[in-house]
């Protein structure tokens, strides 16, 4: 331990090496529930690539595990410390190094907060689309580690679509450059995308070249109320099948609608059992909204409320923004993240409701409906071990259901600790074998974020 | 040899195993020049996944190299046979298994021709965007192997953006499923994208789940004439910087303009030394074309011709379609494929002109200008060994120039045999080392498309 900090201090300033247990305890975990964590031996805050390389060389030499961390807003325990590890916090590496409107790229350090980059891009009329709910605090490095998504993905895709190149410090301290600064490029294997979503298990991202897009116009939304969630799912399918690509398409089931209605005093009638929000940001947004409104009515919407302007749009979307807070009023909450083909979303939601009933738990679902990406939110009493057990059980059943419906155990939150038992099932034996071999290739000593993913 | 065909025939119908040297010689190479090829021992045409697995198991058992082939329209020698190999042609696996408008996916076998899929998608109001020039004949499997691009990439991206999941037969015959059918998913490492662009060196793609998009409206184009290529490059940068995202943005330099003008009798004045084509397919295409026209004039365009309708658009784009044919009138041609940041394209084009002069060769450049993806086309006399030598030399110099300008040696054609010496330079020692280890992990015996990439 003394040896570890001494060696770290050879390459890091004293202020960047923290061993005070009162402080280090604060770096034990991200925002996932149900996940174990250990006590870090030390938390380091490097501010240069060379310092990160020194940390990794030291870790390799002394065989100490390294857990990379961003803002710890993750929901799968992927950033949880393991006992005696070096927590490698990248938050001090938070510079935007370039923002280039002609080449539409940004070059950033990993600790840059998503919202900071988004606003910097905005000043040039550009956008960095991936917008996880935690965008005001989460870091680009964390977004890359988890392959983060968000509300905009139905039109603009996820993090991996925007990562052109990476600088990565490998387990042994070597510095790897992947990818490119050009719009296109196919020279060699795509290691860039291999690192996106690898949750710090293959290397430590210390720099990223990101693609930007022209900033879209402000979106205009509608809210459609449905008497049952099946009809709302049918509307989602009808809208996509008709060729629309909304900039947002969010669905709340009856549990979430009820909680939001109470908390936000939205005045929705009791008969509203599902709420669908659809927005467009293109030049034809008014026409598109009108047509989508018609499709919703045809699918059984009891009420369709299109926004007339930006302000009304914001009001409508407020209900969606309240969803998690509203669910928090019902107990301790755990957010799941199962994506299914959108044609199967109705089955998924029916199945989750059935699991909630069977487990005697309140489970509300908010979905990025355009992507078939459901977030079942289990509310339970964390002081009641029996309820905790049933909450965990419901989580397992929800993942099993997602796989049965041809889906994935994680649409955008990652595997971390929470879902590692299930990853094997999704990948199958051949896939799992290759992924483990890949991990072994990059991290032969097993010091990089050990125990995550596998 | 006898043993090889006997073993192959245990799992393949006789008609699918071809050893007649007159026939097999036809499968020696793709469309790249300057690349060596060997005589295949046998060409097989499996029609099922099981048959492919049998071929790979046999190859592993007998330690025979396997070269996967699609339509052999590649331009880097990536599909060239090696002496004594099994050529594994996937053209008989050409079924579209699913086309699902609600989930916007297609599930296809690797031998499906790009144009066949595109037309099938069109019938559902959908599009499969990647559109390499060879789209009427090239296969989806080949597109995946090379990470193919095309004219649409400036707006719609390249092949890797559209591959959601793959079925891959590994070197030892095991069947691997990667990815997903859902819009989003981050379960484990992204092996799907690792296979895209891997040129058959890691496994044989036998099935693909592809993302489709709503079919765009027909595009409307303008042509802008410039007195020099620098001004045209400045126009490209201005258009992108102003926030436009054209559906096509192609640039021809003076050599190509001259050749096209002569062949197509376009009647362009001698003063036209560069021709830029820009198209839009969105609802505001007329306004966008007008504004882009203004930007071109401001950058120095001597003439801007916007199309009034679809038919005029097609006429304007005809010049671009003639580019390769026109260059073929000047000698044997070799097409290069170097992408640079678009802000560096003017330097790239000036450098290529200078290389052409120094080597005493005619080099014309047609570029996917919106992506900074240049295709220098070297025209030479293939019967003159000295010219051939200088053509090869110019190729090398063009790649070196691209790398110096922060670019990549291949934007969309791949490395194959043609550029393997240069891949090492682009990747650097750490990257090269990891990529080679990756190859060793998937193909420990080195039987999969040996000698390609590295």
Judged on CB neighbours under 10 Å (0-12, 13-18, 19+), B115 is: middle
The number of C-beta contacts closer than 8 angstroms across A and B is 252
How far is the alpha carbon of B453 from chain A, nearest alpha carbon, in Å? 7
Coil vs helix vs strand at A177: strand
Joined tokens for residue A237? 């399918």
Q: What is the pLDDT of residues B180-218, one digit of tens each?
A: 999 999 999 999 999 999 999 999 999 999 999 999 999
Q: Which residues pair with B69 in a beta bridge?
A: B89
Q: What integer is the mean pLDDT of A306-320?
A: 93
Q: Which residues pair with B43 in a beta bridge?
A: B18, B87
Count other Cβ atoms within 10 Å, centred on residue B243: 14
User: Cα(A222)–Cα(A225) distance, rounded to whole angstroms?
Assistant: 10
Q: Do the chains contact at A184 and B158, CB–CB below 8 Å?
A: yes
Q: Do the chains contact at A191 and B215, CB–CB below 8 Å?
A: no
Q: Would you say domain B96-214 falls under CATH 3.30.465.10?
A: yes
Q: Do the chains contact at A441 and B423, CB–CB below 8 Å?
A: no
User: Cα(B89)–Cα(B110) distance, rounded to whole angstroms?
Assistant: 10
Quote the Cα angle for B302-B304-B307, to 5°. 160
Q: In terms of Cα–Cα distance, which of A136, A132, A134, A135 is closest to A151?
A: A132
Phi-psi sector, A387: left (phi>0), alpha (psi -120 to 50), beta: alpha
Count other Cβ atoms within 10 Å, centred on residue A118: 19
Q: Do the chains contact at A214 and B243, CB–CB below 8 Å?
A: yes
- Cross-chain CB nearest to A407 (options B182, B202, B406): B182
Q: What is the pLDDT of residues B321-371, one digit of tens each?
A: 999 999 999 999 999 999 999 999 999 999 999 999 999 999 999 999 999
Per-residue confidence (pLDDT) for residue B134, from 0 to 100 = 94
Q: Is the pLDDT of residue A34 over 90?
A: no
Q: In terms of Cα–Cα distance, which of A72, A80, A33 is closest to A452?
A: A80
**Are the C-beta atoms of A347 and A405 separated by less than 8 Å?**
yes
User: Cα(B122)–Cα(B124) distance, rounded to whole angstroms?
Assistant: 5
Same fold, A218-317 and A330-442: yes
Q: Is the pLDDT of residue A157 over 90?
A: yes
Coil vs helix vs strand at A279: strand
Judged on CB neighbours under 10 Å (0-12, 13-18, 19+), B319 is: buried
Report the mean per-residue pLDDT for chain A: 97
Q: Is the pLDDT of residue B157 over 80?
A: yes
Q: Is the pLDDT of residue B1 over 80?
A: no
- Cross-chain CB nearest to B189 (options A161, A340, A435): A435
For the A330-442 domain, the top CATH level (class) is alpha beta
Count of residues in chain A: 454
Q: What is the pLDDT of residues A181-224, one digit of tens each?
A: 999 999 999 999 999 999 999 999 999 999 999 999 999 999 99
A127, A188, A434: best to mutate for the B interface, most B CBs within 10 A: A188
Find the residue in A nearest to B191 (Cα). A194
Q: Do the chains contact at B188 and A426, CB–CB below 8 Å?
A: yes
User: Cα(B448)–Cα(B86) distance, rounded to whole angstroms?
Assistant: 10
Q: Do the chains contact at A341 and B182, CB–CB below 8 Å?
A: yes
Per-residue confidence (pLDDT) for residue A2, from 0 to 100 = 84
What's the CATH number for A2-89?
A: 3.30.43.10
Q: Do the chains contact at B183 and A370, CB–CB below 8 Å?
A: yes
B contacts of A178 (beta carbons < 8 Å): 431
Q: Do the chains contact at B187 and A427, CB–CB below 8 Å?
A: yes
Q: Do the chains contact at B437 and A437, CB–CB below 8 Å?
A: no
Q: Do the chains contact at B182 and A371, CB–CB below 8 Å?
A: yes
* B433 contact partners, CB below 8 Å, separation of at least 6: none
User: Cα(B390)–Cα(A202) distance, rounded to whole angstroms?
Assistant: 44
Joined tokens for residue B166? 């793959």
For residue A33, name the pLDDT band (cuts at 50, 70, 90).
confident
Find the residue in B nearest to A373 (Cα). B184
Q: In terms of Cα–Cα distance, which of B94, B217, B197 is closest to B144?
A: B197
How far is the alpha carbon of B328 from chain A, nearest alpha carbon, in Å? 26
Report which secondary-structure segment, H or E, holds B305: strand B301-306
Coil vs helix vs strand at A166: strand
Q: Do the chains contact at A188 and B427, CB–CB below 8 Å?
A: yes
Share of chain A above pLDDT 90, in %: 97
* Topology of domain A218-317, CATH: Alpha-Beta Plaits (3.30.70)
A contacts of B151 (beta carbons < 8 Å): none
Per-residue confidence (pLDDT) for residue B2, from 0 to 100 = 84
Count other Cβ atoms within 10 Å, centred on residue B360: 11
C-alpha distances (whole Å) from B231 to each of A275, B289, B373 are 53, 18, 17
CA B185 to the chain's CA centroid: 27
For residue B33, name the pLDDT band (cuts at 50, 70, 90).
confident
Coil vs helix vs strand at B361: coil
Q: What integer is the mean pLDDT of B61-74?
A: 98
Share of chain A above pLDDT 70, in %: 100
B126, B131, B179, B185: best to mutate for the A interface, most A CBs within 10 A: B185
Backbone angles phi, psi at A280, to 5 degrees: -130, 150
B contacts of A427 (beta carbons < 8 Å): 187-188
- Cross-chain CB nearest to B190 (options A104, A154, A194): A194
Judged on CB neighbours under 10 Å (0-12, 13-18, 19+), B63 is: exposed
> How many CA atoms does the CB half-sphere of B156 hold within 13 Å?
24
Q: What integer is the mean pLDDT of A383-398?
A: 96
Share of chain B above pLDDT 70, in %: 100
Q: Is the pLDDT of residue A11 over 90?
A: yes
C-alpha distances (whole Å) from B416 to each of A188, B81, B412 are 10, 11, 12
Q: Is the pLDDT of residue A67 over 90?
A: yes
User: Cα(B360)–Cα(B391) distance, rounded to whole angstroms?
Assistant: 9
User: Cα(A129)–Cα(A81) distance, rounded to whole angstroms?
Assistant: 30
B contacts of A146 (beta carbons < 8 Å): 186
B contacts of A435 (beta carbons < 8 Å): 188-189, 191
Q: Would you kindly state where each structural domain of chain A is located, as residue ranges?
A: 2-89, 96-214, 218-317, 330-442
Q: In terms of Cα–Cα distance, which of A89, A47, A88 is closest to A64?
A: A88
Q: What is the pLDDT of residues B236-266, one digit of tens each?
A: 999 999 999 999 999 999 999 999 999 999 8
Q: What integer is the mean pLDDT of A16-27?
A: 97
Find the residue in A nearest to B187 (Cα). A410
What's the CATH number for B220-404?
A: 3.40.462.10
In A242-384, which ranges are continuous DSSP H helix? 254-264, 285-298, 310-328, 345-359
C-alpha distances (whole Å) from A88 to each of A75, A77, A166, A307, B440 are 18, 15, 18, 46, 31
- Cross-chain CB nearest to B194 (options A157, A194, A408): A194
Coil vs helix vs strand at A182: coil
Report which secondary-structure segment, H or E, holds B292: helix B285-298
User: Cα(A426)–Cα(A210) distance, rounded to whole angstroms?
Assistant: 29
Joined tokens for residue A337? 């993240």
How far is the alpha carbon of A175 from chain B, nearest alpha carbon, in Å? 7
Report which secondary-structure segment, H or E, holds B98: strand B96-100
ipTM: 0.97
- Per the listing, tokens 């591959």 go with B163
- Cross-chain CB nearest to A190 (options B154, B176, B193): B193
Q: What is the pLDDT of residues A69-106, one digit of tens each?
A: 999 999 999 999 999 999 999 999 999 999 999 999 99
Backbone angles phi, psi at A353, to 5 degrees: -60, -40
Per-residue confidence (pLDDT) for residue A392, from 0 to 100 = 94
CA dihedral in degrees (B305, B307, B312, B318; nearest 10)? 60
């Amino acid at each position: 331990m003394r040896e570890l900090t001494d060696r770290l201090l050879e390459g890091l300033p004293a202020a960047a090496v923290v061993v005070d247990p009162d402080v280090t305890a604060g770096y034990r975990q991200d925002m996932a529930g149900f996940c174990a964590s250990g006590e870090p031996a030390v938390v380091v805050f490097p501010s240069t690539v060379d310092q990160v390389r020194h940390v990794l060389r030291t870790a390799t030499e002394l065989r100490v595990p390294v857990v990379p961390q961003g803002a710890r807003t993750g929901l799968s325990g992927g950033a949880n410390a393991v006992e005696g590890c070096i927590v490698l916090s990248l938050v001090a590496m938070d510079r935007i190094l370039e923002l280039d409107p002609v080449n539409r790229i940004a070059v950033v350090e990993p600790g840059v907060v998503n919202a900071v980059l988004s606003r910097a891009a905005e000043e040039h009329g550009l956008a960095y689309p991936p917008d996880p709910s935690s965008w005001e605090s989460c870091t680009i490095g964390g977004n890359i580690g988890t392959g983060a998504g968000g509300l905009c993905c139905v039109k603009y895709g996820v993090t991996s679509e925007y990562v052109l190149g990476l600088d990565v410090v490998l387990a042994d301290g070597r510095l790897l450059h992947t990818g490119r600064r050009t719009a296109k490029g196919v020279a060699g294997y795509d290691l860039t995308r291999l690192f996106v979503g690898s949750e710090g298990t293959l290397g430590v991202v210390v720099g990223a070249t990101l693609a930007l897009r022209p900033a879209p116009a402000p979106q205009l939304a509608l809210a459609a109320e449905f008497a049952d969630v099946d009809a709302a799912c049918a509307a989602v399918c009808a809208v996509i099948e008709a060729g629309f690509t909304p900039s947002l398409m969010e669905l709340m089931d009856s549990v979430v609608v009820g909680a939001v209605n109470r908390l936000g005093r939205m005045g929705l009638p009791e008969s509203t059992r599902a709420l669908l929000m659809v927005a467009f940001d293109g030049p034809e947004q008014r026409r598109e909204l009108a047509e989508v409104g018609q499709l919703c009515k045809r699918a059984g919407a009891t009420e369709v409320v299109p926004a007339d302007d930006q302000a009304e749009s914001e009001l409508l979307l407020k209900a969606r923004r309240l969803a998690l807070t509203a669910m928090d009023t019902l107990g301790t909450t755990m957010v799941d993240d199962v994506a299914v083909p959108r044609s199967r979303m109705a089955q998924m939601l029916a199945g989750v409701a059935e699991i909630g009933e069977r487990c005697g738990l309140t489970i509300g679902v908010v979905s990025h409906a355009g992507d078939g990406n459901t977030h079942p939110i289990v509310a339970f009493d964390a002081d009641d071990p029996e309820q905790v057990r049933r909450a965990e059980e419901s989580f397992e059943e929800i993942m099993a259901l997602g796989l049965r419906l041809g889906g994935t155990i994680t649409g955008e939150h990652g595997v971390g600790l929470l879902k590692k038992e299930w990853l094997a099932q999704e990948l199958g034996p051949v896939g799992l074998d290759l992924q483990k071999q890949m991990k072994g290739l990059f991290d032969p000593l097993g010091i990089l974020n050990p125990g995550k993913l596998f």
